[in-house]
C-alpha cells in the first residue's frame, strides 16, 4: 500500500499550476495560499527560464509558505532548488521519441548524480488540444478517440506502471466522455486532468472522473477570484 506521506499527490484534489513566464500579482498568490488548494505546480511550455522560475518560487515562499510547491520540468536548464518535488512529463502521444525518453536521458546524463529520485514524480501525459503550445512542441497526436486514449492509459498504467496519468487539454475544456473512458481503464495510475476548468460546473464534471484537477490558464483571467473559489468548492 502506498504511503500518503511518500506520495502526497495521491491526496490532492485541486492543484494550481502557475506559469513563470506570465505575470501574476501578489494578491492572487495570497488568495491561492488561502483558497484551500492542495499544492502549487510551477511550469509552462514557452519562455521558461531559471531566472523567471526562481523569481516566482521566491515570491511563493514568501506569500504561500504553507503549500507544497512542485516544479513541473519542461527545460532542464530551468530546474530550481527549494521545491518539495519535481514532476517529469513523459508525453505518451508525442510525435517524436525525444519527448518520451530522449530529452529525459540527456538531462539525466548531465545532472543524474545530483538527482534526488525520492522527490521525482513521473507523469504520463496525453496532450489533447491541437492548438496548445505543448502539442506543437511535441508534435502530439491530439486526435485520439476515447477508446484510443484509454488504450494509452492502459499502457501507462499496466505496462509502464506510471504513477500519474495527466490528461492535458491546456486551456480548452476537454471531452468528458474521453476522461470517463480513461478513468474506467486506469487501475493504479492517479488521474490528473487539466484544461478549461473555469467554473464550478466544469470542475464538478471533470472531478467526477479525475482524481486531481489542475487549474492554470483561468487564473490569469479577470475573474480569477471566482474561478479559484468555485473550483476549490467543487472538489472539496
Residue 36 lies in a domain: yes
Domain that holds residue 75: 8-235
User: Do 189 and 153 touch, CB atoms closer than 8 A?
Assistant: yes
CA 211 to each of CA 79, 109, 165: distance values in angstroms, whole numbers, following the listed order: 27, 33, 10
Q: What is the CATH number of the domain that holds 31?
A: 3.20.20.390
Task: Report the alpha-carbon distance of residue 56 to residue 142 in Å, rounded.
Answer: 31
1 occurs within a structural domain? no
Residue 14: half-sphere exposure toward Cβ, Cα within 13 Å: 22
Please give the model's pTM, rounded to 2 decimal places.
0.93
In this structure, the chain runs to a length of 236
| pLDDT for res 26 | 97
Q: How confident is the model at residue 113 (pLDDT cuts 50, 70, 90)?
A: confident
Is there a domain that residue 2 lies in? Answer: no
pLDDT at 108 over 90: no
Q: Which residues are annotated as a binding site for Mg(2+)?
A: 19, 45
* Residue 211 belongs to some domain of the structure: yes
In a domain, 146, yes or no: yes
Give the confidence band of 235 by pLDDT, cuts at 50, 70, 90.
very high
Task: Mark the binding-site residues, compressed into ranges.
Answer: 17, 19, 45, 166-171, 196, 216-217
Mean pLDDT of 9-37: 97
Residue 5 is predicted with a pLDDT of 53
Q: Which residue has the higher pLDDT, 103 or 178?
A: 178
Reply yes or no on whether the pLDDT at 185 is more than 70: yes
Domain annotation covers residue 219? yes
**Which residues contribute to the annotated binding site for sn-glycerol 1-phosphate?**
17, 166-171, 196, 216-217
With respect to residue 191, please indicate whether it lies within any of the assigned structural domains: yes
Number of domains in the chain: 1
pLDDT in tens, 43-69: 988 899 999 999 999 999 999 999 999
Please indicate, yes or no, if residue 186 is contained in any of the structural domains: yes
Amino acid at each position: 500500500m502506498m504511503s500518503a506521506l511518500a506520495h502526497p499527490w495521491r491526496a490532492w484534489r485541486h492543484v494550481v499550476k502557475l506559469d513563470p513566464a506570465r505575470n501574476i500579482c501578489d494578491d492572487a498568490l495570497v488568495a491561492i495560499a488561502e483558497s484551500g488548494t492542495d499544492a502549487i505546480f510551477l511550469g509552462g511550455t514557452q519562455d521558461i527560464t531559471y531566472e523567471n522560475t526562481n523569481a516566482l518560487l521566491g515570491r511563493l515562499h514568501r506569500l504561500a509558505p504553507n503549500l507544497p510547491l512542485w516544479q513541473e520540468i519542461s527545460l532542464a536548464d530551468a530546474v530550481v532548488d527549494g521545491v518539495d518535488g519535481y514532476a517529469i512529463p513523459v508525453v505518451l502521444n508525442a510525435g517524436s521519441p525525444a519527448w518520451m525518453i530522449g530529452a529525459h536521458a540527456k538531462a539525466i546524463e548531465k545532472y543524474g548524480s545530483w538527482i534526488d529520485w525520492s522527490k521525482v514524480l513521473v507523469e504520463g501525459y496525453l496532450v489533447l488540444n491541437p492548438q496548445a503550445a505543448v502539442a506543437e512542441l511535441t508534435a502530439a497526436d491530439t486526435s485520439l478517440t476515447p477508446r484510443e486514449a484509454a488504450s494509452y492509459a492502459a499502457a501507462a498504467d499496466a505496462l509502464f506502471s506510471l504513477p500519474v496519468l495527466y490528461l492535458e487539454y491546456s486551456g480548452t475544456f476537454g471531452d468528458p466522455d474521453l476522461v470517463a473512458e480513461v478513468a474506467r481503464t486506469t487501475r493504479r495510475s492517479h488521474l490528473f486532468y487539466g484544461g478549461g476548468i473555469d467554473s464550478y460546473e466544469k470542475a464538478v464534471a471533470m472531478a467526477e472522473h479525475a482524481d486531481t484537477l489542475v487549474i492554470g490558464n483561468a487564473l490569469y483571467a479577470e475573474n480569477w477570484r471566482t474561478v479559484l473559489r468555485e473550483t476549490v468548492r467543487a472538489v472539496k
